[in-house]
């Protein structure tokens, strides 16, 4: 349980809220799916930390990330034409390139060229990696991009979707650290996944609903290990690596993937985008078209037509219980959210309200990782306020070896060996 003040400190990210400042100055923020920006395609509005930006890919494939307003008289550049290596504002035709430089100002005479050369709008550094566009919104020089296990793989080894979620960023993050819900909320999908995959280990979550936890502070955030004793004396261990503040690398499932991506993009106080996906070290997961779930993941898909840009979406809202299907529940579906596994996550988080009131919780032993993460975030805010890095001496600039772990520990191994 938190105090009201702590809940506000942790959740608010708009304006000059300290958590928003921490994200802006310290983090590369995931902004959209890479393929959502096509060369000369429609510019895309991206909202982060309560501010709107425009992102586009120019004729030569370079990504631009700019303030949304045209530097002339502030018409939205989301409306602009994207052609000939620049955005052309539809109001008066000023042209702005990926660096934010105005390269043509046809409404000015004489000396339009000299006039244009003196005007630029703010542009932000971007990295295109792991199927995502990442942006640095801070004031100073961008820190080195901290590569993750999936951002160093070939494009086809990573498969990632987006879902807009109408609730605060921290709800999205906490769900990824809460391994205890897998065997309950996702019971129906995990049952079918276990039945269809002999190599699976995640099926073990069904029989152990109260996992033990070992949580360790790391130079990037925390490692959270869920420990589930099995009938033969062995222990099923799942270790999620959480890179503060919003990247969770969750164990994959043998025969399916080597890791699961859960990354929360902080849109504003009441919205986030959840990037969910998988990576495979050895083999490609898709053919470059991204049109459907990889075959290996068919068991987490229900009756919702596949939509990579709104994978965990649903119809309806609070008034109709977000489309929950009571008939399906009678017939054996546990949650009644038959769309797909991710839909179960998005609906439960959104049902808590736009910002959950954490003064009203009753936490249990399964919430240890969530509690640790909150403490780490509060500490990070204190550190930044005191002029220190958010975690430890500095956030590492290469995390490509930080693989999540999914394994069975034999009976004769102490749990301290879990990681």
Contact yes or no for 210/180 (Cβ under 8 A): yes
Please say which residue, 63 or 116, places its beta carbon nearer to ligand FES. 116
Residue 91 contact partner, candidates Fe ion, ligand FES, none, CB within 5 to 8 A by sort of partner: ligand FES
Query: Residue 11 — φ and ψ, nearest 5°?
Result: -100, -35
171, two tokens: 């709800």
Please say which residue, 73 or 292, places its beta carbon nearer to ligand FES. 73
Q: Which residues pair with 272 in a beta bridge?
A: 165, 266
221, two tokens: 């955030």
Residue 384 contact partner, candidates Fe ion, ligand FES, none, CB within 5 to 8 A by sort of partner: none
Q: Which residues pair with 54 in a beta bridge?
A: 45, 66
CA distance 112 to 103: 9
Residue 345 contact partner, candidates ligand FES, Fe ion, none, CB within 5 to 8 A by sort of partner: Fe ion
CB 175, min distance to Fe ion, A: 6
CB 60, min distance to ligand FES, A: 23
Q: Is 297 helix (H, G, I), strand (E, B) or coil?
A: helix
CA 31 to chain centre: 9
Contact yes or no for 162/311 (Cβ under 8 A): yes
Please say which residue, 116 or 355, places its beta carbon nearer to ligand FES. 116
* Piece of 103-111, 199-207, 291-299, 342-350 that binds Fe ion (CB under 5 A): 342-350
x-or-dash string of contact with ligand FES, 64-103, rule CB under 6 A: ------x-xx-x-------------x-xxxx---------
Residues in contact with Fe ion, counted by CB under 5 A, come to a total of 1
CB 315, min distance to Fe ion, A: 20
DSSP state of 171: H
CB 65, min distance to Fe ion, A: 30
Q: Is 341 helix (H, G, I), strand (E, B) or coil?
A: helix
CB 90, min distance to ligand FES, A: 8
CA distance 152 to 65: 22
Residues in 343-372 that interact with Fe ion by CB under 5 A: 345
In 280-327 the beta strands, taken as DSSP E runs, fall at none
**Which residues in this chain contact Fe ion in the complex, by CB under 5 A?**
345
**Which residues in this chain contact ligand FES in the complex, by CB under 6 A?**
70, 72-73, 75, 89, 91-94
């Amino acid at each position: 349980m938190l105090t009201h003040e702590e809940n506000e400190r942790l959740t608010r990210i708009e304006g000059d809220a300290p958590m928003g400042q921490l994200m802006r100055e310290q983090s590369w923020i995931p902004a959209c799916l890479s393929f959502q920006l096509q060369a000369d395609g429609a510019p895309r509005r991206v909202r982060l930390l309560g501010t709107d930006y425009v992102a586009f890919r120019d004729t030569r494939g370079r990504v631009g990330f700019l303030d949304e307003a045209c530097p002339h008289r502030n018409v939205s550049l989301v409306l602009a034409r994207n052609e000939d290596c620049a955005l052309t504002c539809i109001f008066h035709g000023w042209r702005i390139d990926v660096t934010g430089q105005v390269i043509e100002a046809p409404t000015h005479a004489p000396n339009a060229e000299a006039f244009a050369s003196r005007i630029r709008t703010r542009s932000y550094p971007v990295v295109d990696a792991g199927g995502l566009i990442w942006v640095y919104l801070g004031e100073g020089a961008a820190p080195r991009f901290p590569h993750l296990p999936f951002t160093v793989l070939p494009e086809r080894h990573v498969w990632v979707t987006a879902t807009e979620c109408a609730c605060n960023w921290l709800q999205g993050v906490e769900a990824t650290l809460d391994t205890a819900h897998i065997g309950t909320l996702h019971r129906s999908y995990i049952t079918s996944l276990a039945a269809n995959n002999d190599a699976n280990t995640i099926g073990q979550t069904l029989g152990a609903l109260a996992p033990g936890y070992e949580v360790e502070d790391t130079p990037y955030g925390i490692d959270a290990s869920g420990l589930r004793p099995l009938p033969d004396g062995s222990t099923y261990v799942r270790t999620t690596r959480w890179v503060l503040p919003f990247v969770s690398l969750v164990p994959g499932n043998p025969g399916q993937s080597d890791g699961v991506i859960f990354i929360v993009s902080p849109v504003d106080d009441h919205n986030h985008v959840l990037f969910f996906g998988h990576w495979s070290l050895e083999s490609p997961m898709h053919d470059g078209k991204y049109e459907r779930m990889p075959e290996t993941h068919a068991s987490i898909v229900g009756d919702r037509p596949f939509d990579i840009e709104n994978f965990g979406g649903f119809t309806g809202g609070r008034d109709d219980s977000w489309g929950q299907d009571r008939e399906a529940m009678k017939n054996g579906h546990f949650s009644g959210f038959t769309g797909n596994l991710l839909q179960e996550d998005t609906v439960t988080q959104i049902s808590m309200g736009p910002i959950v009131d954490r003064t009203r919780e009753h936490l249990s032993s399964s919430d240890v990782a969530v509690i640790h993460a909150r403490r780490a975030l509060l500490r990070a805010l204190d550190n930044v306020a005191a002029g220190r890095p958010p975690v430890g001496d500095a956030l590492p600039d290469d995390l490509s070896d930080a693989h999540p772990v999914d394994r069975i520990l034999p009976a004769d191994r102490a749990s301290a060996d879990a990681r």
